[in-house]
Amino acid sequence: MLSTQMSDTLMETLRMAGINLSSNAQVELGNKQGGEMNAAKYEECLEKFYSICDQMELHLKTASAHQYQSQASQRYTPSTVTTNPPPDIHKYTLYTSNVRQQVAFAKELHSLLVDATSSLAAPLPPPQRPQPQHHDSITTMDTQS
């Protein structure tokens, strides 16, 4: 539905741009006085087009977030969960295996967070200072003076 509105609005915007361009050409040739009405109508059509573009962008972002949520749901909930399951479909072992997987994932996530916070809290080693170089040999320049 938005795509048809978008194409209709784009066509109207382009039509108004053509009328505006023609009107400006007539004004430059001196055949006609400048008219602000065409410019205002063109800006109105352009704003409507941008509004539909913004709506489409929001719809696409929502669809992308929905797809990401669906993939995460399939990844972290391996068995299908129904809201009103028949009595014999989900057995106790299926629930326990699902819970074990979720607990293992929670432990893994916990250990990752603990490692990350410990690495952030660890003090930084002191910066290394450059060691001065000692020259024990005498150069020929030193002996000549």
In a domain, 104, yes or no: no
20-63 residue pLDDT tens: 888 888 888 877 776 667 778 889 999 999 999 999 999 999 99
User: Residue 100: is its pLDDT beyond 70?
Assistant: yes
User: Residue 118: is its pLDDT beyond 90?
Assistant: no
CA–CA separation, 80 vs 142, rounded Å?
87
CA–CA separation, 110 vs 137, rounded Å?
60
In a domain, 136, yes or no: no
Q: Stretch 93-101: mean pLDDT, rounded? A: 82
User: Residue 11: is its pLDDT beyond 90?
Assistant: yes
In a domain, 44, yes or no: yes
Please, where are the H alpha helices in the chain? 2-29, 36-76, 92-121, 140-144
In a domain, 8, yes or no: yes
Note the pLDDT of residue 66: 94
In a domain, 54, yes or no: yes
Note the pLDDT of residue 23: 84
Between residues 135 and 118, the one the model is more confident about: 118
Helices 36-76 & 2-29, crossing angle to 10 degrees? 150
Structural domain range at position 62: 2-78
- Are 16 and 42 a contacting pair, CB within 8 Å? yes
In a domain, 102, yes or no: no
In a domain, 145, yes or no: no
Q: Which residues of 83-114 are buried (b: 16+ CB within 10 A; e: fewer)?
A: eeeeeeeeeeeeeeeeeeeeeeeeeeeeeeee
Note the pLDDT of residue 125: 65
In a domain, 121, yes or no: no
- Are 22 and 69 a contacting pair, CB within 8 Å? no
pLDDT-wise least confident of 23-37, 90-104, 111-125: 23-37
What phi, psi does 84 have (nearest 5°)?
-135, 75
DSSP state of 122: S
Domain count, the chain: 1
Q: Stretch 93-115: mean pLDDT, rounded? A: 87
